[in-house]
A = this chain, B = another copy of it.
Amino acid sequence: MTLAIRPATLADVPAIVALMADDVNGARREDASLPIDPAYEAAFAAIDADPNQELIVAEQGDRIVGTVQISFLPGLAFRGALRGQIESVRIASDLRGHGLGRQLIEWAVARCRQRGCKFVQLTSQSDRTAAHRFYTRLGWDQSHLGFKLHFGDLR
């Protein structure tokens, strides 16, 4: 199965949120009910206004089946390297295991190279062991531990 991969538009927001909620962790966190919570549209506007943020969707025909967000982060470390960061990777639950995630991640990595990143980074929740095997198979190095500190109840 091949994917059409492109930048998201405001009209894609409900489908992206539905993908985020279609997950054991996301189901607790997100609210995909329609009309979509305006907080999601406000977040889309902030992403869209920032040239260092790219929210991406993957389509099969008319259906949005995957999403990823890429952040381009300038920094002094690694001799002034721009780094790419991949967040919020999702593939529709009924389509997992068919190589779509691999296509989407490889697209995102290629995009980071194109923008001049020296490396890319991501974190994956500790309980997502299948995802960890997936990234290791794609050549990623599990070199770090990831920490979070939440200010509210939503986690």
Using CB atoms and an 8 Å cutoff, list the residues of chain A in contact with chain B. 13, 16-17, 20, 26, 29-31, 37, 39-44, 46-47, 50, 52-53, 55, 69, 71, 73-82, 85, 87-88, 109, 113, 117-126, 132, 135-136, 138-152, 154-155
In the assembled complex, the CB of A63 is this many whole angstroms from the nearest CB of chain B, namely 18
- Jot down 14 A-B pairs with beta carbons below 8 A, ordered by A: A29-B79, A30-B78, A37-B79, A42-B80, A44-B76, A46-B82, A47-B74, A50-B74, A73-B85, A117-B151, A124-B147, A125-B143, A142-B146, A145-B146
Q: How far is the CA of A16 from the CA of B79 in the complex (A)?
A: 12
A87 nearest in chain B by CB position: B75
Chain B CB within 10 Å, residue with most, of A26, A119, A140, A144: A144
